[in-house]
Amino acid sequence: MARTPDIRMPDLTGRRALITGGNSGLGFETAKRLLAAGAEVIITSRSAEKGADAVRRLEARRAGPSGASGGSGGSGGSAGSGASGSSGAPGSSGAPGAPGAPASLSDGSAGTAGTDSASTARGAASSGDGFADNDHGAPVGAHDSATSGGSAEYTNASFGASGTTGRGSVRAVPLDLANLGSVRRLADEIVGDGHPLDLLFNNAGVMAVPRRTLTDDGFELQFGTNHLGHFALTGRLLPALMRSDAARVVTMSSIVHWMGRIDFEDLQSENRYSAWGAYGQSKLANLMFAKELARRNASLGWGVLSLAAHPGFSRTNLQSSGPNLGRTKPSRLMKGMNAMPGMTQSAAEGALPELFAATNDEVLGGDYFGPSGLFELTGEPNFAHFARRAENEKQAALLWLRSEELTGVSFPTD
Ligand SMILES: NC(=O)c1ccc[n+]([C@@H]2O[C@H](COP(=O)([O-])OP(=O)(O)OC[C@H]3O[C@@H](n4cnc5c(N)ncnc54)[C@H](OP(=O)(O)O)[C@@H]3O)[C@@H](O)[C@H]2O)c1
């Protein structure tokens, strides 16, 4: 029987992490694993009720050291085969160090769709040896826990939902990425408390919204939420990230980035709107942002490692909240995919690539991780293929400039 994908988590005691969209799906599963590893976790939620409920559910799941008991944090996920192993699951000697054979990255067998030629970040690097060395619970450059912000309380921003789960702690704070004022308020709270932020998961997202819809600031909803909101959040949180001695930003992309083109003439899809086209553009922008952030960090020395990840096809609320705009009935495509064995995985499994990017000590800035199975839909995390245009530096610089103009958030230039 195939082994359930899993990774081993390092000890994250004294580390502070913020997960956008941590009340549901992949973000919720990510929170679970971080908590079990001892981190101080801040999940964001648009609604106080959902945030408080997520904190309650995280509390309720404090079962063991893994915290990965499988299933989706959102009701849309059919629990199925969760990543049930503890961080040291029997037979997982290679995880996360050997998440799939490197050959599978270079022989094109992943066969990710798209007309553009494929790239992988460092296709031959995942020998298993170097990565496996990270499986032993070593802190990821842990800083002095006295400065970790364990007692910080949000006043304006807090939903008042917090708890202590396993060895870590969790609280929910409000964030609507479709409202730049909300982004500013949360970032001000976090930067203002004076503590480091060690891990930022740019995870939240909305997918394939059927009709062109706008954010509060007038941006197309998917580009505005998935890319611009996270761009602004990251820029505003940079001072807190720079306080960490080992900060990482993990930005969630998707296989659907292959469908994406950055339409600089029509970034907000005013002239022509397609639900998947706009989603593809936003997810390509996520990946280009992660890579450009890595380049800027390398040249400007912010000390912030930027990575990207995708979850393959994971059973979460995404398929109902985006295409169906809140309706609970999934689309026919989603129903069909869900019915095919091996084409989807649990939310717990889907969270592994972003967790891997956030915690493995062999990763390099700009690396992109996803499941290593067929079409990168399911499986152990490994380097993911990406469209070559995702690392077009000229376009990335232009996207960065336009994002700064649109959000009014500028990153330092020296
Ligand atoms: N599931 C997959 O197969 C898949 C595949 C590729 C990529 N992804 C990416 O993975 C990420 C997580 O998605 P998921 O699958 O876990 O879906 P999910 O269960 O629907 O979770 C999405 C999260 O994003 C939040 N969100 C949506 N709009 C927001 C906004 N304006 N401001 C703040 N938060 C917002 C949602 O909050 P509410 O609960 O308030 O709606 C929810 O917490 C997304 O970026 C998605 O594009 C998922």
Q: Is the CB of 260 under 6 A from ligand 1?
A: no
Q: Whose CA is nearest to atom 36 of ligand 1?
A: 21
Kindly state whether residue 412 falls inside one of the protein's structural domains: no
pTM of the model: 0.81
Kindly state whether residue 147 falls inside one of the protein's structural domains: yes
* Six-digit token string for 287: 């990946």
Q: Is the CB of 316 under 6 A from ligand 1?
A: yes
CA of 203 to the centre of ligand 1 (A): 7
Ordered DSSP codes for 342-404: TS-B-HHHHTHHHHHHHH-TT--TT-EEEE-SGGGSSSSEEEPEEEGGGG-HHHHHHHHHHHH
pLDDT attached to residue 183? 98
**Distance between CA atoms of 176 and 391, rounded to whole angstroms?**
29
Query: Is the bond preceding 102 in cis, omega lying within 30 degrees of 0?
Result: no
**Distance between CA atoms of 284 and 395, rounded to whole angstroms?**
11
Ligand 1 atom with least separation from CA of 26: 16
pLDDT attached to residue 333? 66
The residues near 107 (Cβ < 8 Å, ≥ 6 apart) are none
Burial class (CB in 10 A: 0-12, 13-18, 19+), 146: exposed
Q: Is the CB of 154 under 6 A from ligand 1?
A: no
Ligand 1 atom with least separation from CA of 27: 16
Q: For a pocket test of ligand 1, which of 18, 24, 173 has the largest count of ligand atoms closer than 8 A to its C-beta?
A: 24
Residue 54 has pLDDT above 80, yes or no: yes
CA of 205 to the centre of ligand 1 (A): 4
pLDDT digits 0-9 by tens, 276-299? 999 999 999 999 999 999 999 999
Q: Is the CB of 25 under 6 A from ligand 1?
A: yes
Q: List the one residue out of 251, 244, 229 whose CA is nearest residue 175.
A: 229
Q: Is the CB of 26 under 6 A from ligand 1?
A: yes
Kindly state whether residue 2 falls inside one of the protein's structural domains: no
Kindly state whether residue 9 falls inside one of the protein's structural domains: no
CA of 252 to the centre of ligand 1 (A): 10
pLDDT digits 0-9 by tens, 291-342? 999 999 999 999 999 999 999 999 998 866 655 554 455 566 666 766 677 8
The residues near 274 (Cβ < 8 Å, ≥ 6 apart) are none
pLDDT attached to residue 164? 59
Ligand 1 atom with least separation from CA of 313: 3
Kindly state whether residue 279 falls inside one of the protein's structural domains: yes
- For 142-225, where are the alpha helices, taking DSSP H only? 180-192, 221-222
**Distance between CA atoms of 311 and 368, rounded to whole angstroms?**
11
CA of 353 to the centre of ligand 1 (A): 15
Burial class (CB in 10 A: 0-12, 13-18, 19+), 84: middle
CA of 121 to the centre of ligand 1 (A): 25
pLDDT digits 0-9 by tens, 350-405? 999 999 999 999 999 999 999 999 999 999 999 999 999 999 999 999 999 999 99
pLDDT attached to residue 141? 27
CA of 213 to the centre of ligand 1 (A): 16
Ligand 1 atom with least separation from CA of 252: 45
Kindly state whether residue 292 falls inside one of the protein's structural domains: yes
Domain span holding position 325: 16-407
Told to judge if 273 belongs to the known catalytic residues of this protein, a careful annotator would answer no
**Distance between CA atoms of 175 and 215, rounded to whole angstroms?**
13
Split into its structural domains, the chain has a count of 1
Q: For a pocket test of ligand 1, which of 250, 316, 325 has the largest count of ligand atoms closer than 8 A to its C-beta?
A: 316
pLDDT digits 0-9 by tens, 167-205? 789 999 999 999 999 999 999 999 999 999 999 999 999
Residue 273 has pLDDT above 60, yes or no: yes
Name the band, by pLDDT with cuts 50, 70 and 90, for residue 114.
very low
Q: Which amino acid is at 264?
A: F
Q: Is the CB of 36 under 6 A from ligand 1?
A: no
Q: Of how many residues is the chain composed?
A: 414
pLDDT attached to residue 119? 58
Ligand 1 atom with least separation from CA of 73: 19
CA dihedral 99, 100, 102, 106 (to 10 degrees): -130
Kindly state whether residue 317 falls inside one of the protein's structural domains: yes
Q: Whose CA is nearest to atom 33 of ligand 1?
A: 176
Strands 385-387 and 381-383: unpaired
Kindly state whether residue 177 falls inside one of the protein's structural domains: yes
**Distance between CA atoms of 285 and 293, rounded to whole angstroms?**
12
Q: Is the CB of 209 under 6 A from ligand 1?
A: no
What CATH number corresponds to the domain at position 168? Answer: 3.40.50.720
Q: Is the CB of 330 under 6 A from ligand 1?
A: no
Q: Whose CA is nearest to atom 45 of ligand 1?
A: 205
The residues near 309 (Cβ < 8 Å, ≥ 6 apart) are 250, 251, 252, 253, 353, 354, 356, 357, 368, 369, 370, 381, 384
Provide the percentage of residues in the chain whose pLDDT is more than 70.
69
CA of 105 to the centre of ligand 1 (A): 27
The answer to whether residues 110 and 104 touch, using CB atoms and an 8 Å cutoff, is yes
Decide: helix, strand or coil at residue 213: coil
* Six-digit token string for 193: 């408390």
